Amino acid sequence: MSEARHDWSKEEILAIYNKPMMELLYEAATVHRVHHDPNTVQVSTLLSIKTGGCPEDCGYCPQAARYHTDIEGNDLMTVSHVKAQALRAKASGSSRVCMGAAWRNVKDGPEFDQVLEMVRTINKLDMEVCCTLGMLTENQAKRLAEAGLYAYNHNLDTSEDYYKDVISTRAFEDRLETIDNVRKSNVTVCSGGIIGMGEQLEDRAGMLVALASLNPQPESVPINALVAVEGTPMEEMEPVSIWDMIRMVATTRIVMPETQVRLSAGRTEMSREGQAMCFFAGANSIFAGDKLLTTPNPDVNEDMAMFKLLGLNPQKPFVKVAQPTTTEAVDSILAPLGEKPKWSRPAHKIERNEIAKNKTKLVE
């Protein structure tokens, strides 16, 4: 089994991101097929269990109390309501429920106890449970793990250099500390970011450097396109190009070959063709349902129709998706191109000219 690289430089990642599109797609798709089943995509449901009133000032977020948005806040959901929503999600094909609360950080007390009961309840439904609750301590991470939490989401959002232009109420280091606290439990890490917030390409590369440098790397990396919401400081941002999303997904797949790359916010602006290109480039997870916390998302029936069209299958819960990298695996991926090449290095470290040199022409 190959080991993921943790020493990527920003320059190396930019070189990948800026490759000619056809080369980038081919390389990302090859890496994806070595490590994952290309016809399986996880379907997750994101549920806002406590909406609005957050004291943070994240420039993209309509849930910040200081911004004047049309978001209707609500108190913490009841356990029975969450269970009903989870059962509905399971019936629609979701294998994971991610619960989000608009908190700066987790506070011990009745509300956290209620969240722990939600985790236990969903876990009994044979579904993966993920939470995104803000910053948390090592002890809180341990308690979530004991309740049966499968994953904890805590996005870096952007590069360390650009972070202060997006958020001032929490430091980049605070994000890393929470991820470290999660790693001290047996809960998996879900951490990614958002593109289209006015950042430079160097910032996108910088975010991937930070994520890839984590050891182990996150099991899940959401790639979000900014959904500009009226009333937030980023309401005037232009929608990110689908080509930027494809490049970001492909680059993430190459840099973190074993992680699950999540095609997250912004899918309502993407055509089926655009989403198909993202799946080809290595995305193997989506969020289903008509909302992602507070922003619009494609209807689950629309997603299932797309899956049928593309021949994709929803991933079952608790499945280890990353496969070991072996020379036999690489051979089986490239065998349809002709004579099986014999590689001496893991697939994601093979230079593009080596693949071109070793493959044969398709039979005419």
Q: Which amino acids are annotated catalytic?
A: 54, 58, 61, 98, 130, 190, 262
Query: Under a CB-based contact definition with an 8 Å cutoff, are residues 103 and 135 in contact?
Result: no
d(CA 201, CA 18): 9
Q: Are strands 313-314 and 295-296 parallel, antiparallel or unpaired?
A: unpaired
Query: Under a CB-based contact definition with an 8 Å cutoff, are residues 78 and 95 in contact?
Result: no
Q: Of 127, 119, 113, nearest to 44 (Cα)?
A: 127
d(CA 318, CA 316): 7
**Residue 189 in 3-state DSSP?**
strand
Per-residue CA distances from 2 to 188, 218, 351 (Å): 20, 16, 16
| String of DSSP letters for 236-303 | TPPPPPHHHHHHHHHHHHHHSTTSEEEE-TTGGGS-HHHHHHHHHTTEEEEEESSEETTEE---HHHH
Question: Quick one: how many helices (H) and strands (E) in the chain?
Answer: 13, 12
- Residue type (1 letter), 263: L
